[in-house]
Amino acid sequence: MKGKNWLMASLMCLSLPANSASQFKPIEVRDAELALLRGRYVLPDRIVYFGITMSSVWQNSAGQAVGAMVSLLVDGKAEPSLHISYIDQSGDGSPVTPGTGQITGGAGLNNVQGVVQSVRSAGDFNDAQNNLSITISQADTTAPAATGQAWDGSGQFSNAAGDVQVTSNAAGLKVALQAAGQGYTQQQIGGGNISQQANISGSLNNVRNLATLNVALRDRPLNTQLANCTFEQLRALRPTGY
Quote the pLDDT of residue 228: 58
For residue 27, what is the DSSP state? -
Give how far the C-alpha of residue 242 lies from the chain's centroid of Cα atoms, to the nearest Å: 31
Provide the terminal-to-terminal Cα distance of the chain, rounded to the nearest Å: 37
DSSP-derived letter for residue 191 is: T
Q: Tell me the C-alpha to C-alpha distance, in Å, between residue 4 and each of 7, 8, 136, 176.
A: 5, 6, 49, 73
Residue 216 burial by CB count (10 A; 0-12/13-18/19+): exposed, middle or buried? buried
The model's pTM? 0.70
Q: Is the pLDDT of residue 68 over 90?
A: yes
Whole-angstrom distance, CA of residue 182 vs CA of residue 98:
6
pLDDT at 77: 63
Compute φ and ψ for 86, nearest 5 degrees.
-105, 155
> Is residue 206 a contact partner of residue 59, using CB atoms and an 8 Å limit?
yes
Render the burial of 73-83: b for 16+ CB within 10 Å, e for the rest. Answer: bbbbeeeeebb
Confidence of residue 242 (pLDDT cuts 50, 70, 90): very low
Candidate from 94-103, 135-144, 152-161, 179-188 with smallest mean pLDDT: 135-144
The pLDDT value recorded for residue 2 is 46
Least confident of 37-46, 124-133, 190-199: 37-46
Q: How far apart are CA 47 and CA 86, in angstroms?
A: 29
The CA distance from 233 to 202, in Å, is 53
H helix count then E strand count, the chain: 4, 12
Burial 35-60 (b: 16+ CB within 10 A, else e): eeeeeeeeeeebbbbbbbbbbbbbbb
Residue 238 DSSP SS3:
helix
Residue 33's pLDDT band (cuts 50, 70, 90): low
For the chain, what is the mean pLDDT?
77
C-alpha dihedral, 174 to 47 to 231 to 27, nearest 10° = 40
For residues 76-98, average pLDDT: 85
> CA-CA distances (angstroms) from residue 22 to 17, 27, 128?
10, 10, 50
